[in-house]
Amino acid sequence: MDAGKLVRPQVATLKAYTPGTTVSQAKKKYGLERFVKLSSNENPLGTSPLALAAIRTMDDLQIYVDDDHHELRRRLAEPYGFGVDHVLVGHGSNDVVRTLFTAFLTAGDEVVMADPTFSLFPKDTVLFDAVPVRVPLRDGVHDLAAMLAAVTPKTKLVVVVDPNNPTSTRVERDAFDRFARALPENVILVIDQAYREYMPDGSVEGTEYVRSRPATFVLRTHSKLYGLASLRFGYALGDPELIGYAQRVRLPFNVSRPAAVAALAALDDHDFVRRSLAANEAGKAYLSPAFERLGLHAYPTAANFVAVQVPGSATEAYEAMLQRGVVTRSGDALGMPGRLRITIGTAEQNALVVEALGSLAAAVA
Ligand SMILES: Cc1ncc(COP(=O)(O)O)c(C=O)c1O
């Protein structure tokens, strides 16, 4: 058998997703007992207790989930004055992207996006035989003017990840507003706001654009703030007619009942949300001056992670941090050479980060 002849040519060019190093991998590699995992932007306070309590009461998993998820979708839509038909659910927001691209991308379509940005977007574009048009960031931020200039009659979709992964930066609200208004009405605008809850006041609120320009989808997830990364739940908010097309290709039962039950319960966990956001703000307030003291530039973060410059190569720094018990993400793997992407952790974890970066800087000096 020649597997290379069987596979679709688009798939042959792709690489499997490489997740951040797991704690057990790190333990095995370095034989250290304790590691802090700050590589996947998970919630350092854990999982929403209300979500955990809700799943613990479940016992009839032999029954297929009610695939309509009516109450969950109603609750997700409500804060924005939307209805159930504005909401498309998924097995994490990654799955929502796959559903949207399945519904709307045709071979040869161009998809304009930043470079670097969340790796799923270029990859899924190629999967559908469409063409990623990658526009370099400017000073770590989406260059919206250049992205607009990259739009051609072939452009089907434009992706703005706000805050951006891996840089943690956000776009400025007025600039985004001008950009969204100038975008042709038949170009789909995808605003990935996986970290929306962490953003400062005055940031872009993607849902406003669902109202003002119907060809807009906003992506959100329960993986970050609500601490449900492992259960997998994400969703899109968008125009009901377009969401209706996406519903035609969504895999049936793509959100499990435990995920749906936990996602709904988490929405009421105001205490966990408040504590999580407070911990993140405290982490930012601690890390930012510490990086400055060490002479390491970090982009101003609008999310729950930082993109900090390191002495030497990112991969060497990543390894050196691992040896010191801190699992981060090397910017080399994310299109961000010279920087590490580090999740903002608890006070204790953040102190460990600063200590490890400090000894790294001292070793190089
Ligand atoms: C920008 C961005 N979008 C989407 C996701 C994926 O979220 P989910 O776990 O909901 O698939 C991530 C996860 O890191 C992300 O950083």
* Ordered DSSP codes for 52-111: HHHHHT---TTSPP-TT-HHHHHHHHGGGT--GGGEEEESHHHHHHHHHHHHH--TT-EE
pLDDT of residue 32: 76
Centre of ligand 1 to C-alpha 363, Å, is 34
pLDDT of residue 276: 98
pLDDT of residue 342: 98
- Asked, as a colleague might, if the bond just before 163 is cis with ω within 30 of 0, I would say yes
pLDDT of residue 99: 98
Residue 223 CA: which ligand 1 atom is closest?
9
Residue 41 Cβ contacting ligand 1 at under 6 Å: yes
Centre of ligand 1 to C-alpha 137, Å, is 19
Residue 345 Cβ contacting ligand 1 at under 6 Å: no
Residue 191 Cβ contacting ligand 1 at under 6 Å: no
309, β-bridge pairs: 339
Centre of ligand 1 to C-alpha 116, Å, is 15
pLDDT of residue 24: 78
pLDDT of residue 26: 76
Low-confidence ranges of the chain (pLDDT < 50): none
pLDDT of residue 318: 96
Centre of ligand 1 to C-alpha 221, Å, is 7
The pLDDT tens digits of the residues spanning 51-109 come to 999 999 999 999 999 999 999 999 999 999 999 999 999 999 999 999 999 999 999 99
Q: What is the pTM of this model?
A: 0.96
Total residue count of the chain as it appears in this document? 365
pLDDT of residue 286: 98
How many Cβ atoms sit within 10 Å of the Cβ of residue 239? Answer: 19
Centre of ligand 1 to C-alpha 94, Å, is 6
How many Cβ atoms sit within 10 Å of the Cβ of residue 161? Answer: 26
Non-local CB neighbours of 68 within 8 Å, separated by 6+ positions: none
How many Cβ atoms sit within 10 Å of the Cβ of residue 14? Answer: 14
Centre of ligand 1 to C-alpha 231, Å, is 13
Instruction: Indicate the top mutation candidate among 42, 223, 228, 341 to test ligand 1's pocket, ranked by most ligand atoms within 8 A of CB.
Output: 223
Q: Specify the residue with its C-alpha closest to ligand 1, atom 2.
A: 194
